[in-house]
């Protein structure tokens, strides 16, 4: 039940983070948020089976769910009106899939880090993915590098926060600490 709630809240957060854009962007943000959150039950299941022990395996599972998001959002086209007319922005299927895989890989890689660098790594991962999203959307020029940095800087905080809050509150597991005195099956203290 907790996973379903997290997936729904992450979908809402992903969609709401794109609410200033077109309806297709809202749909894409919601799908990406839901798919990235859907990786958590799979990762936890694999961990319970002893198959997901490294951060790289976790990142690869996240990339698979990013691929799923890319495949779902590919059929939906987004057109942007510019001074030069209508230009496609992130409408190429392979580009959509590649960016979605980047999100899945880097987000789950950063969240698999279990030390004080987890949160900075997470925000850096979201910023990098947003930067790639905008950079790949426009023709490669010096201005596109600067514009991509600016757009990523303005847009990544909303997705990063709205997606991370449900994860941090609903999927945080308390640290496992062994009791100070162990007892055997008969209830006798073992030193």
User: 3-class secondary structure for 76-137?
Assistant: CCCEEEECCEEEECCCCHHHHHHHHHHHHHHHHHHHHCCCCCHHHHHHHHHHHHHHHHHHCC
Could you read off the pLDDT tens digit of each residue along the chain, which spans 191 residues? 889 999 999 999 888 887 776 777 788 889 999 999 999 999 989 988 888 778 899 999 999 999 999 999 888 766 555 544 444 555 677 888 888 999 999 999 999 888 888 889 999 999 888 888 877 766 555 566 777 788 888 888 888 888 888 888 877 543 333 444 444 555 555 44
pTM of the model: 0.77
Please state the φ and ψ torsions of residue 89, each to the nearest 5 degrees: -120, 115
- Bridge partners (DSSP) of residue 183 are 189
């Amino acid at each position: 039940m907790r996973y379903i709630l997290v997936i729904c809240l992450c979908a809402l957060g992903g969609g709401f983070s794109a609410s200033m854009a077109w309806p297709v962007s809202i749909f894409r943000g919601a799908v990406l948020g839901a798919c990235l959150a859907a990786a958590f039950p799979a990762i936890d299941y694999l961990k319970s089976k002893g198959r997901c022990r490294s951060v790289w395996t976790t990142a690869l599972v996240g990339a698979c769910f990013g691929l799923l998001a890319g495949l779902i959002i590919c059929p939906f086209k987004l057109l942007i009106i510019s001074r030069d007319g209508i230009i496609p922005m992130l409408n190429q299927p392979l580009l959509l899939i590649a960016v979605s895989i980047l999100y899945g890989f880097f987000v789950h890689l950063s969240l698999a880090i279990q030390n004080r660098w987890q949160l900075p790594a997470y925000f850096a991962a979201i910023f990098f993915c947003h930067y790639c999203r905008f950079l790949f959307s426009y023709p490669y020029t010096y201005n596109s590098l600067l514009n991509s940095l600016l757009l990523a800087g303005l847009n990544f905080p909303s997705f990063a926060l709205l997606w991370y809050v449900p994860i941090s509150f609903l999927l945080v597991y308390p640290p496992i600490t062994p009791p100070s005195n162990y007892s055997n099956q008969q209830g006798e203290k073992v030193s």
